[in-house]
Structure 1
């Protein structure tokens, strides 16, 4: 499974904490799109898709959520519960984000612009494409 956890460096002093995010330095791709989600109810499941070529880093900058990852052979659940923890998800990995805490804000850094043709939204078609 093409996933990796990044513990981003925290720089802090009496003024607070800063976490630098730099493309091609501590992010393994050029960032072309950034979006975030919030006000997601705990019982809602987001995602439910894979990407053919897109790479992403997910960072829960407030609160927490869980991410189910599936490469068609094995499944893993990652708890995003620290503001400096980034989850890299490579292509051909099914993802579902769930159990959002009430105050959760999930930021996504993407390697490309939105392209509908890059999405695999049907789980059975995903399994066909990876097996």
Structure 2
């Protein structure tokens, strides 16, 4: 398990086909995102005062796209913190493993698409921040 940083999280522009009838954006795994897509899910109807996420993954990569509205993604690698605002459906955020991520400040009607590098596996999640910091500190020793 490699140590990751919030600096490894990257905003990637997706293809955008502009047409007078409306725009189209598409995503192909391993071409537009840096992993094979094995799972897709989306968040919606999140109350403005609520947040989602607030966990890290040991091996899973995620790619978040704001399809509608806007929200912030708060990123933490145990040493550095940053926040990314997503509000364009042709722009996504790649989050590699071992970066704590939390989504917050959802506009009403926001929709967050999440592409994942693997199927759901509860044992890959680190849901407690203190546990996350223990993992990060172990990685520093390697």
Structure 1: gaps spanning 5 or more residues? none
Residue 63 of structure 2 is aligned to residue 63 of structure 1: no
- 1:45 aligns to what? 51
1:28-107 pair list within 5 angstroms: 28-107=34-113
Aligned length: 131
Secondary structure in 2 matching 1:13: coil
Work out the CA distance in 2 between the residues paired with 1:30 and 1:96.
23
Q: Secondary structure at the match of 2:108?
A: coil
Of 12-21 and 61-70, deviating more is 12-21
Q: By percentage of residues, which structure has more helix?
A: 2
- Please tell me the root mean square deviation across aligned C-alpha atoms, in Å: 0.7
Greater fraction of residues in strand: 1
Find the aligned partners of 1:85 and 1:14 in 2 and give their Cα distance: 20
Q: Which runs of 4+ in 1 moved over 4 A?
A: none
Report how far residue 8 of structure 1 moved. Answer: 1.1
**TM-score, normalised with respect to structure 2:** 0.90
Cα shift readout 1:19-39 (whole Å, capped 9, x = no counterpart): 110011111111000000100
Task: Provide the rounded CA distance (Å) in 2 between the counterparts of 1:73 and 1:39.
Answer: 32
Once residues 34 and 106 of structure 1 are traced to their aligned partners in structure 2, the CA distance between those partners, rounded to angstroms, is: 11
- SS of the residue corresponding to residue 23 of structure 2 reads strand
